[in-house]
C-alpha cells in the first residue's frame, strides 16, 4: 500500500500517433481494445481505448510526428496477458512487426526468483509493445 499517495496507479498510457487511423485500427480491430471516450477533431482528436479484461486505458492522440517529444521518452508499453504467445501472434496478424519472439526468462530477483514469459513487437507508429506474464 502506498502511504504517500493513497490510491496511486496508472490511469492511462498516451500515444501520439503519426497515422491515427492506422493506429486506431491496430489497437481496436487487431488487439481488441474498445472505444471509451473521444473528443476533438483533426490533429486535436483524442480517443481513449479500454484494454478489455484488465484495468487500463490507452489514450490515442492524433497529430503525431517522427520527432521525439522534449518532455522525455518511454521505452515500451507492457501489457499483461494470459497467453504471451497468442498475443504476439495476434499482434503480428494485425500488422505489428516482430521484435523479440516469445521467450521465458528466469529472473534472479529479490525478494524471490520469478520466471516470466515475454514477447515484443513494434506497433504501427514505431512504438515498442511488450506482452508479459509471470509464469512461476
Query: Model confidence over 64-102: pLDDT tens digits?
Result: 877 766 556 667 889 999 999 999 999 999 999 999 999
Query: Model confidence over 26-43: pLDDT tens digits?
Result: 999 999 999 999 999 999
Give me the torsion for CA of 81, 51, 44, 95, rounded to 10°.
50
Q: In terms of Cα–Cα distance, which of 26, 44, 5, 3 is closest to 96?
A: 26
C-alpha span between 65 and 18 (Å, rounded): 5
pLDDT of residue 2: 82
CATH of domain 10-66: 3.10.180.10
Q: Tell me the pairing of strands 128-134 and 77-80.
A: parallel
C-alpha cell at 110: 529479490
74-136 fold: 2,3-Dihydroxybiphenyl 1,2-Dioxygenase; domain 1 (3.10.180)
In the chain, residues under CATH classification 3.10.180.10 are: 10-66, 74-136
Amino acid at each position: 500500500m502506498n502511504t504517500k499517495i493513497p490510491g496511486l496507479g496508472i490511469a492511462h498510457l498516451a500515444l501520439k500517433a503519426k497515422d491515427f487511423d492506422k493506429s486506431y485500427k491496430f489497437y481496436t480491430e487487431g488487439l481488441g481494445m474498445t472505444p471509451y471516450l473521444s473528443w476533438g477533431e483533426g490533429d486535436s482528436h483524442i480517443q481513449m481505448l479500454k484494454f478489455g479484461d484488465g484495468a487500463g486505458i490507452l489514450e490515442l492522440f492524433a497529430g503525431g510526428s517522427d520527432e521525439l517529444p522534449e518532455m522525455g521518452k518511454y521505452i515500451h508499453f507492457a501489457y499483461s496477458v494470459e497467453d504471451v504467445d497468442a498475443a504476439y501472434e495476434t499482434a503480428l496478424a494485425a500488422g505489428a512487426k516482430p521484435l523479440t519472439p516469445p521467450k521465458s526468462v528466469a529472473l534472479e530477483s529479490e525478494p524471490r526468483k520469478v520466471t516470466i514469459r515475454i514477447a515484443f513487437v513494434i506497433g504501427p507508429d514505431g512504438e515498442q509493445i511488450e506482452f508479459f506474464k509471470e509464469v512461476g
